[in-house]
Amino acid sequence: MIVVVGMLVAAAVAALLGFAVLIAKRVDQASALREIDTAKRQLVELQTKVRVDLAVFSHWDQSLDPTTSHFDQDWVHRYFGLPLQQDRGHDRSFIIGPGDQPMYSSADGMAVGADLFRRMHRRINPLIEKARRAHAADVASNAAYGEMGEHEAPTRRKFETAIRRIDGRPAVVGVATIAPGGGRSAPNAAPPVAVSVAFLERDLLQRIAHELAADTVAVYDGESFERALEGGKIAAEIPLAADETKAWLVWSPRAPGAALLIQLLPALFGVVALLAIITMVVLLYVRRTTERLDQSERRATELAYHDRLTGLANRVQLLDTLTERLSEKTPQRLALVLIDLDDFKNINDTLGHAIGDEVLFAVGERLSRCAGENGMAVRLGADEFAVLAPVKQGSESVVEICRRVQDCMHASVLAGGQVLSVGATLGVAVAPDDALEAEQLLRRADIALYRAKAECRGGYRVFDMGYEEILHKRNAIERDLSQALAQEQLKVEYQPQYAADGERVVGVEALVRWDHPERGVVPPSEFIPVAEYSGLVVKLDEWVLRRACEHAAQWPGLALAVNLSASNFRQGNVADRLTRVLVETGFDPRRLEIEITESMLLGATGEVLGELSELRRLGVRIALDDFGTGYSSLGYLRRFPVDKLKIDKSFVQNLGITEDAAAIVECVTRLGRALGLAVTAEGVETGEQHRFVRAVGCHQVQGYLFSPPLEPEQMNELVHPQTSRPRRSEPRLVTA
């Protein structure tokens, strides 16, 4: 009886819904055909619009005659190029003289060089030639007219428009011969030609979208076009030249049939509800009989395979599911996304674990919706979650699932009557590409998550075999670095810092170097980050400080600059540890400069600021290293205890190369001097760079123009040349 009733209800519902869907589909198809015709008409009207615009702005007087000296670039830009861009939305405009020589070129409302037209000449030239041939025919006709009448007939302008690919993008191109004003005839058969280009973007697409009553209209070609149509969109082909790659206008149709179907849904639901009630009466008794057994089985399953707080699957179920799917004869392609909540510990510490649990529950609900029917949301423990979802071939599908998860996480969470923001960092591994076993896939997703947390907090990384190699290499460097610190394999070199004139050494910066017995020279860019991550950097910084103070004690009068990692301040007792080193080495604290980064200063807590103030009380100066590359702010320069700014070498080395480098260097220097701070320019390598930083007012300079980093013995020779033995590679002072 249950089977019979169920089949009857299903047949009735299917017939009713099928009929409604069929009618809606046919209405939508007819509407889509009308929209495609409208889009094609709009493309024709855009060409007409460009022609009208050129007719308005392409008048010719003597200033446009290329055979005279009266061609006025400024006048043409003001009354031709600029109005076309600002008033009519054209992107590029040109005046082309005889021999196809560009007399005027503009792009986005700014006058530019002739190279812009030469790059697109091949696509536009057929239209120019066609307009000129029409003009030549008109001139010939006027000549015949002049022989028959008393007055020579004026030459009319000739227009050509088409849609062509310009710089790889479809654009409406208009060409007009520039006829003389005042009823005069053209002086020759090859007058100047006005050319205008309006890309099928922004305003033009919005205009088409308005006519179609569509939200947006976009231009697609190639594979992207095929994918767009798979998403239910429709398209109208753009009339490009035969030798150009095809392109289409693509938009979402209005679907009036579907809208009508939605309006009818209440009635349909009413019928379905009536049938459902009848069915429920029949099945109620059976359901009550089996309900208790089902609940008991579900409870046992939940305890074994689900997280109690969020109700999500747990690690056991994830591994079982992965093992089952990966053991299939044809394994499905699966993406395992590990999700780590950013700064969740702060929520627990500041608001309490009860609110933290509410946040975790809300996150679990979001991930369940994000995973969908074919996916799985998992809580692995603490603030770490995972999403397992099938993906298609290619990286686009993997990127899509990552972005979908990020979108789910970005919305604010209401917990404990407070609106909280929860960020997340993602790591992804794909089976069977990255692993064929569940544990291995989970481990490699964790490697990708570690990479993301190190490189792009709040972003995502997809597993790459190189990550695993880097991880092995990092672990090896960590082991070797610990051994190098114990066996004194490291050394300290010193780069001199000169007064602004480049003639007098005023200080040195201590730089740690590592000559590995097997690897050779290991760059600081490789082992310093490893030391930061492993916590060895605190021990390393103290070792460098001690060696630098011992060496610099031999160079009286010179300041000693030593970098301190932010990890030292997070550990605390910086002033006590530094004082102990100064006392043991006998180094004058007034000669010591501690270099810190902008990011460390920006996130400084009250304890960190207290440590910095204590260092200054001892006489130690604070220098802000690599200034300009982080979160440069006048506010924190005034609030925090800083004595010196060191302009990052990237700005100094770009002097004369990029336009903004000189302005930044000058601005930072003036800012430092106005605040009473010393300013040092790093990375000075040429005489031109030295002259510039000196002219803008830098107090000190540092770089290979004056000296590379030197061994302690070489520094002794530089500081005390009269007491040092001559050397073949003796460091020399070089001036700009």
Residue 484 has what pLDDT? 87
Confidence of residue 724 (pLDDT cuts 50, 70, 90): very low
Residue 660 has what pLDDT? 86
**pLDDT at residue 164 is higher than 60:** yes
Kindly tell me the burial class for residue 621, based on how many C-beta atoms sit within 10 Å of its own C-beta (0-12, 13-18, 19 or more).
buried
Confidence of residue 194 (pLDDT cuts 50, 70, 90): very high
Residue 44 has what pLDDT? 93
**pLDDT at residue 151 is higher than 50:** no
CB distance 464 to 436 below 8 Å: no
Confidence of residue 611 (pLDDT cuts 50, 70, 90): confident
Read off the pLDDT of residues 615-663 as tens digits, 9 standing for 90 and up: 999 999 999 888 877 655 666 677 777 899 999 899 999 998 888 889 9
Instruction: Give 197's contacts (C-beta < 8 A, 6+ positions apart).
Output: 90, 91, 92, 93, 120, 124, 166, 171, 172, 173, 174
CB distance 377 to 367 below 8 Å: yes
Angle of the 256-305 helix axis to the 2-57 helix axis, nearest 10: 120
Confidence of residue 729 (pLDDT cuts 50, 70, 90): very low
Read off the pLDDT of residues 688-718 as tens digits, 9 standing for 90 and up: 999 999 999 999 999 999 999 999 999 999 9
CA atoms of 158 and 62, how far apart (whole Å): 19
Residue 516 has what pLDDT? 86
Read off the pLDDT of residues 285-318 as tens digits, 9 standing for 90 and up: 767 777 777 777 777 677 778 888 888 999 999 9
Please state, for a pLDDT cut of 70, what percent of the chain lies above it.
90
Read off the pLDDT of residues 59-70 as tens digits, 9 standing for 90 and up: 655 445 544 456
CA atoms of 383 and 351, how far apart (whole Å): 15
Highest mean pLDDT among 260-269, 351-360, 547-556, 602-611: 547-556
Mean pLDDT of the 566-594 span: 90
- Chain-centroid distance of CA 54 in Å reads 39
The residue with greater pLDDT, 293 or 239, is: 239
The tokens of 369 are what? 């919706």
Instruction: Give counts: helices (H), strands (E), the chain.
Output: 24, 25
**pLDDT at residue 725 is higher than 60:** no
CA atoms of 633 and 142, how far apart (whole Å): 70
**pLDDT at residue 188 is higher than 60:** no
150: how many CB neighbours lie within 10 A of its CB?
5
Read off the pLDDT of residues 382-426 as tens digits, 9 standing for 90 and up: 889 999 999 888 878 889 999 989 888 887 888 877 888 888 999
